[in-house]
Structure 1
Amino acid sequence: MKWGLATRLGSVLALVSLLMAGMTGLYAFQVARDLLVQATKDELMTATQVVGRRIRDVHLDASRDLHMLSRHPASLALLQNPSPQQATQADQLATLFELIMAANPGYFQIRLISASDSGLERVRVDRDGQQLLRIEGDDLQEKGHYPYVSDTLQMPAGSTYQSRTVINHERGAHAGLGQPTVLLASPVVNARGQTLGVIVINIDLKGAFSRLAADLPAEFQLYLANRDGDFLIHPDNTRTFGFDTGRRVLLQDEFPATRDLVARRVDQLVFEADSGEHATEPVIATFTANRARSDNPDAAGFLGLAQPRSNVLQRSHALGLTILQIASVLGLVGFALALLLARWVTRPLNTMSNAVARFSIGHPILGLPLTRQDEIGQLARSFEQMQQQIHQQFTELQANRQELEHLARHDPLTGLPNRRLFIERLDNALARAKRTQTQLAVMFIDMDHFKAINDQWGHEAGDAALQWVAQRLLEHTRETDTVARLGGDEFVVLLDNQVQAEQLALVAQKLIDSMREPWFFNGHLCQIQLSMGISLYPQNGDTADALLNSADNAMYRVKTASRNNFGFAPEG
C-alpha cells in the first residue's frame, strides 16, 4: 500500500499538530497550575496577616479594658486606706468586672490584686461554664509570688504586661483551670505615683483562636508557637504545650523552613512543605512573626496558616481534562483537514498554537477564528472556554482575598468600620486638620443599660439593638462623617469638617433624640438611650489616642452624672 502525498502530509501535520497541541496544552496547564499555587500562597499570607491583625485587636481591646479598670475610682479606693464604703465599692467593681466578662466571652477571669498583703486578691470574678462567679472571703488568694503580679508592680502607669502562653495550673481557676491562657495586667497607680496593685485579665487562648478559625475556610490549618517554637495551637491537639509535660514539640522540627523565622532572621515565610512529616500530604504554609506588644519578650511568637497542596491542585484537574480534550480534538481535526487542504489547515493551527503559547492571565488569547463553523472554530472556542475557566477561578480567588481584607477593617455585626479603619481615618483627618489649621471633633457613644436588653431578651436582642443604633447613627450623620463600632456597645463618630461647639451640641442632641423612635424586638417595645462624650482638635489633643481618651472620659462623666445626655471634654 502506497501512501499518497496528501496522506503523508496529513499524517505528518496531524502528528505535528498533536505534538504542538500537547506542548502548548502542557505549557498552559503548567502556567495555570503555577498561578493557582502562587495565588493560594498570596491568599494564605493575606489571611495570616488578617488573623494577626485580629489577634492584635483582641490585645488592644483587653489593654483598653485593663487601663479603664486601673483608672477606675473604685479600684484606687479599694487599694488605699480602709473605709466604710469599701464593701460597696467592691460590689460596684465586681459588677463592672461581670459586665466586661459578659461582653467578652474570651475572658476567663478578671482580678484586682493588692500590692500589699503578699498580693492578696481584693476583687475577683471567674468564668465557670456559662456562669460568672464572684470569689469572696477566704477563697481570695495571695498572688504576690507570681511574675504577672511582681513584674507588673514595677511597670509605670498605663503599661500592659503580657505573660507567655501557659497552661493555667492556679488553684481554683474554674473554667480556666488546665486551659491555655495568656495573662494581661496593668498597674493601679494613685495620683502621687504610688503603685497600689494590679488589674489582671486571663484570656482564653483556645477559645479566641477557635473563634478566629471559624471565619477561615474549612481546609485552612491554624498554627501558633511561642518565641522558642513550642506549639501552642496545632491541628493535632496532642502536639500542643509539650513543654508543660516535659517534652518539646517544635515548629522548626515539623517545618525546617521556619528556622530562619525562629532565629529572627526574617519576619515572614511562604513555602511548600513536602518532606518529613508532610512527605505524604504536602502543604502550602505561611508563617509570620507575632511581635510582643508588651515589655515581656516571652510574649512574642509565630502565627501560621497551612492548606493541603492537594486541595489547590484539585482545581487544576478539570482544566487538565479540558486541555487533554482540546489536544485530542486538535490532532483529529488536523489529520482530517490535512487530507483535503494541508495549507489551509496549517495556517490556522500555527496561529492558534502561537496564541496559546503567549497565553497568561493578564494577556487573553487573541486572533482565534471563533466565527468559523467547522472543527477549527470549535477548537478555537474550546481554547476560549479554557481561558474563561481560568479567569473565573482567579476572579473567585481575588474576591475571597478582598472579603478577608473587608473583614479585617469592618465590624461583622453592624457593617460599620472597626477600630482599625476608624483610627486610620482619624489619623488622616488629623493630618489634614494640622495642615489646614482647621478643627475636627470625635464623639464617643455608649449605649445605656445595654446589659439589661441582653439579660431580658437575650443576645439576639442585643445584636439587633446594636444594628438598630448603628442604622440610626448613619441616618442622622453626614456622608462625610465616619461612624464606627469600637466593640461591645461603644460607637464613635468622626466629624472632620470645620464645626463649632454649638453645631456639635445640635448634632449630639439630634443623635440622642433619634433613639426615641420606637424600636421593637419580637413585639416588645425597647427603650434605647445614649451617653456621649465629645472631644475637639486641637483643644483636647493632637493625636488619635488623646482625642479618643478625652471623648471616652467625657462620656463616662455623662454616665456618672445623668446618662442619656452628652458632654464636652474640658480643654487640656
Structure 2
Amino acid sequence: MRPGLTVKLSLLLALIGVLASGSTGYYAYRANRAMLVGEAGRNLLTATELLGQRFSAAIDDMAADALVLATMPSSALIAQSKDLKTNADRARLAQVFSSFMLHHPGYLQARLIARDRFGLERIRFDRDGHGIVEVQGGDLQEKGQFAYVFDTLALAPGHVYIGPITINRERGAHYAEGKPILRLAAPIATPAGGVVGVVVLDVDLAVLLKLLRTDLPPDYDVYLANEWGDFLVHPDPSQAFGFDKGRRVFMQDSFAATKPLFDRAKNRVLINGLTNPEQAPDEVLAFVRRPFGASAGNRFIVLGLGKPLSDVLAGANLLGDQIVRMVLFSSVAALLLAILFARALTRPLQILTHAATHFFAESASEALPLKRNDEIGMLARCFDRMRREIRSQVDALHDKQHQLAHLANHDVLTSLPNRMLFMQRLDAALHDATANGERLAVLFVDLDRFKQINDQFGHSFGDTVLVAVAHRLQHVLSKGHTVARLGGDEFVVLVEGAYVSDSATDLAARIVRALDDDLPVDGKQVTVGASVGISEFPQDGTSARDLLLHADAAMYAAKSKGRGFWQRYCELPGEQRVTTANETTADES
C-alpha cells in the first residue's frame, strides 16, 4: 500500500524539524572541525618553525665543531707534516678527533685532509656497526678531487663549507657509505694565514633529525627538501633522494601549495586535508623555508611536518556522536508533532484522494489523465513533458559521452589514437605476445622538416601538414598495425603479430620513402621527411615504457645520421645506447 498524503505530509513536517535541529548540529560540528584543524595547523606551524630553528642551530653547532678542530695548532702542523708516520702531535690530535666522534653520535666521519699530496687524508675516523674505527696507513685516501676539499681550500680561515645533503657514494666509508649525509668542512690555516688543509665532518642526517624531533609526537611525519625541491626526507623512503636513483621527486609537485616557498614568495605554508583534500589527503601539513646554515648564502631548505587528520578531528568526532543523539531525540518529537499537524491539514484534501490514488496507480503513459483541464491534468501533462525531456536529455548525454570517450583516446587534430590509447594497446599487445611467444615492434617516427614548414607557412598550415602525414602513414600501414600521434611532429607505430625483424625494418623503410615524397597540402607540394627509430620485443625491452623509450632513443640516433634514416635500437653500440637513452630521458624531463 502506497503511503497517503497524511503520511507524506507528516514525514515532510517531521523532516523540517529534523533538518532544523540537524542543520544546527551539523554547522556546529563543521565549525568545531574547522576550529580544531585551524588550531592544529597553527601548532604544527609553530612546531615546524621550531624544528627549523633547531636544524639551523644544529648546523651552526656542527660548523663550530669543525672550526674548533681546524683552528687547533696541531691541525696545521699535521696538515703540513711530510711524515705520515705516527708521532706525538698526531696521536694527541687523533685523540681529539676520536673524542668528538664519541660525544657526537651523529658524526659518521671526522677527517683531516692535507692540501698537498692530492688532498691526502692525514687523520680519519669512521663509524661502523661496532663503534669508531681509525683508518691509517695505506687505507688513507686522496680526496683533492672532491668539491668539499677544493671549495673549502678556497675559503678564508674562519669560514665553514656546508655541502649539499646527499647520499654518500665514496667507497670504503664504512657505515657512512650509502647513507644520507650532511658534510661540513673548515679550512686549516697557519699562523701566517695560509690554508694548508681542511677538517671534514660527515653527519648522519637520520640521526640528526632523530635528535631534533625527540619531543615531537611520534605520529608526526617529517618532510625535508633542498632549494630545488628534491625530497631529502619523506615518510615514504622511496620518495627521498630521487636524484640519486635516476628520477627526481619534487616537493612542489607533490604539494603544489609549497611552490611559493621555492619561488621565495613565502616563508611558510599551511595545508590541511579538510579544505584541500587533493593537496593534503587525510593530513594537516606545515612547511617553512629556512636558510641552509649561517654561511650558506642564498641556499635554503624547506622543512615540513604532517599530522594525521584523524587525530586532529578526534574531539570533533566525539561532538558528532552527541549531535547524532540530539538529532535522534528531536526527530522523534518532530514526528509526533508532525502527525498531529498533518491530520488537521489534510482533511480538506480528502476529496482528491481517489483521483490522486488512481493517478499514481497508472504507470503507462497512455493511462495518464492528460486531457483534463484542471490542475491534475496540468500536472499530468507537465509530468509527461518532463519525462520526454528527460529522455531526450539522457539520449543527448549518451551521445556526448561517446564523443568524450573518443576524444579522450584520440588526437583531436589527426583523429589518430593518442599516447594514452597507444600505451593501452601496447600493454595489451605485450601481454598477448608474452603469452603466445610472439614478437612485436615499436617504430618512433619524427618529422625532419616540420619545424621549417611551420616557421615558413605558419601553424595553421603546419596542422594541415600533420593531417596529411597521418593520412599518408595510414595509407602505408596495413590494418594489423596501429599508428598514433604522441604530440607535435612525433608519431609512433605498433607492429603486432608474429613479425620478424625484417618486417619492422621494411615498414620503416616504406615510411621513410612515403614521407620523402611530396605531400599536396592546400595547393602546395611539401616534403617533410622522417627519421625512424625501431625497438623490438623482447630483445629491446619487455615493458611498454622501455620499448617506447628505446624506440625514441633509436630515432635520435637515426636523426644524428642526417635526414631520412631509420635505426634499430639493438644495432646501436653499447655506449651510444646509454648516451642516447640518457639524452632522451633528459629531454623528457
TM interval, short-chain normalised: 0.5 to 0.7
1: CA distance, partners of 2:222 / 2:150: 33
- 1:530 counterpart residue number: none
- 1:122 counterpart residue number: 122
> After the TM superposition, which residues 41-52 of structure 1 pair with which residues of structure 2 at under 5 Å, given as runs?
41-52=41-52
RMSD of aligned residue pairs (Cα, Å): 3.2
Against the structure 1 CA distance between its residues 280 and 190, is the aligned structure 2 distance closer, same or farther, given a 3 Å change threshold? closer
Which TM-score applies when normalising by structure 1?
A: 0.53
> After the TM superposition, which residues 81-160 of structure 1 pair with which residues of structure 2 at under 5 Å, given as runs?
81=81, 87-160=87-160
Report the 3-state secondary structure (helix = DSSP H, G, I; strand = E; otherwise coil) of the residue aligned with 1:118. Answer: helix
Against the structure 1 CA distance between its residues 285 and 212, is the aligned structure 2 distance closer, same or farther, given a 3 Å change threshold? same
Compute the displacement of 1:12 (Å): 11
Counterpart code for 1:79? A
| Aligned 8 A contact 1:227 1:298 in 2 | no
Against the structure 1 CA distance between its residues 311 and 84, is the aligned structure 2 distance closer, same or farther, given a 3 Å change threshold? closer
2: CA distance, partners of 1:133 / 1:316: 54
Compute the displacement of 1:320 (Å): 0.7
- 2:246 counterpart residue number: 246
Compute the displacement of 1:250 (Å): 1.1
- 2:234 counterpart residue number: 234
Instruction: Name structure 2 gaps, 5 residues minimum.
Output: 1-9, 340-589
- 2:23 counterpart residue number: 23
2: CA distance, partners of 1:34 / 1:95: 57
Counterpart code for 1:116? D
1: CA distance, partners of 2:299 / 2:147: 13
Against the structure 1 CA distance between its residues 183 and 84, is the aligned structure 2 distance closer, same or farther, given a 3 Å change threshold? closer
- 1:190 counterpart residue number: 190
Compute the displacement of 1:42 (Å): 0.9
2: CA distance, partners of 1:90 / 1:173: 21
Against the structure 1 CA distance between its residues 233 and 326, is the aligned structure 2 distance closer, same or farther, given a 3 Å change threshold? same
2: CA distance, partners of 1:224 / 1:272: 18
Which TM-score applies when normalising by structure 2?
A: 0.52
- 1:40 counterpart residue number: 40
1: CA distance, partners of 2:242 / 2:45: 27
- 2:181 counterpart residue number: 181
Counterpart code for 1:271? I
- 1:495 counterpart residue number: none
Counterpart code for 2:67? H
2: CA distance, partners of 1:295 / 1:57: 12
| Aligned 8 A contact 1:165 1:299 in 2 | no
Against the structure 1 CA distance between its residues 270 and 162, is the aligned structure 2 distance closer, same or farther, given a 3 Å change threshold? same
1: CA distance, partners of 2:30 / 2:327: 15
| Aligned 8 A contact 1:78 1:86 in 2 | no
Report the 3-state secondary structure (helix = DSSP H, G, I; strand = E; otherwise coil) of the residue aligned with 1:117. Answer: helix
Against the structure 1 CA distance between its residues 47 and 84, is the aligned structure 2 distance closer, same or farther, given a 3 Å change threshold? closer
2: CA distance, partners of 1:27 / 1:144: 67
| Aligned 8 A contact 1:152 1:186 in 2 | yes
Compute the displacement of 1:183 (Å): 0.5
Compute the displacement of 1:51 (Å): 1.4
Bigger radius of gyration:
2
Instruction: Name structure 1 gaps, 5 residues minimum.
Output: 1-9, 340-572
Identity %, equivalent residues: 36
Against the structure 1 CA distance between its residues 55 and 180, is the aligned structure 2 distance closer, same or farther, given a 3 Å change threshold? same
Compute the displacement of 1:294 (Å): 4.9
- 1:307 counterpart residue number: 307
Against the structure 1 CA distance between its residues 244 and 311, is the aligned structure 2 distance closer, same or farther, given a 3 Å change threshold? same
| Aligned 8 A contact 1:33 1:316 in 2 | yes
Compute the displacement of 1:242 (Å): 1.2
Q: Does 1:216 align with 2:216?
A: yes
Compute the displacement of 1:77 (Å): 1.9
- 1:286 counterpart residue number: 286
Compute the displacement of 1:277 (Å): 10
> After the TM superposition, which residues 120-519 of structure 1 pair with which residues of structure 2 at under 5 Å, given as runs?
120-272=120-272, 281-296=281-296, 300-330=300-330
Compute the displacement of 1:17 (Å): 6.3
2: CA distance, partners of 1:287 / 1:184: 25
Cα-to-partner distance string for 1:348-371 (whole Å, 9 max, x where unaligned): xxxxxxxxxxxxxxxxxxxxxxxx
1: CA distance, partners of 2:75 / 2:225: 35
Against the structure 1 CA distance between its residues 246 and 277, is the aligned structure 2 distance closer, same or farther, given a 3 Å change threshold? farther
By relative contact order (CA 8 Å, sep 6+), the higher-ranking structure is 1
2: CA distance, partners of 1:29 / 1:154: 62
| Aligned 8 A contact 1:224 1:304 in 2 | yes
Counterpart code for 2:218? A
2: CA distance, partners of 1:131 / 1:235: 28
Counterpart code for 1:24? T
2: CA distance, partners of 1:102 / 1:277: 46
Counterpart code for 1:201? L
2: CA distance, partners of 1:84 / 1:271: 57
| Aligned 8 A contact 2:60 2:293 in 1 | no
Q: Does 48-57 or 224-233 show the bigger shift?
A: 48-57
Cα-to-partner distance string for 1:255-308 (whole Å, 9 max, x where unaligned): 111112122221110013589996794322111112122544585221111123
Report the 3-state secondary structure (helix = DSSP H, G, I; strand = E; otherwise coil) of the residue aligned with 2:119. Answer: coil
- 1:403 counterpart residue number: none
Report the 3-state secondary structure (helix = DSSP H, G, I; strand = E; otherwise coil) of the residue aligned with 1:202. Answer: strand
2: CA distance, partners of 1:215 / 1:237: 22
Work out the number of aligned pairs and report it. Answer: 331
- 1:506 counterpart residue number: none
| Aligned 8 A contact 1:69 1:199 in 2 | yes
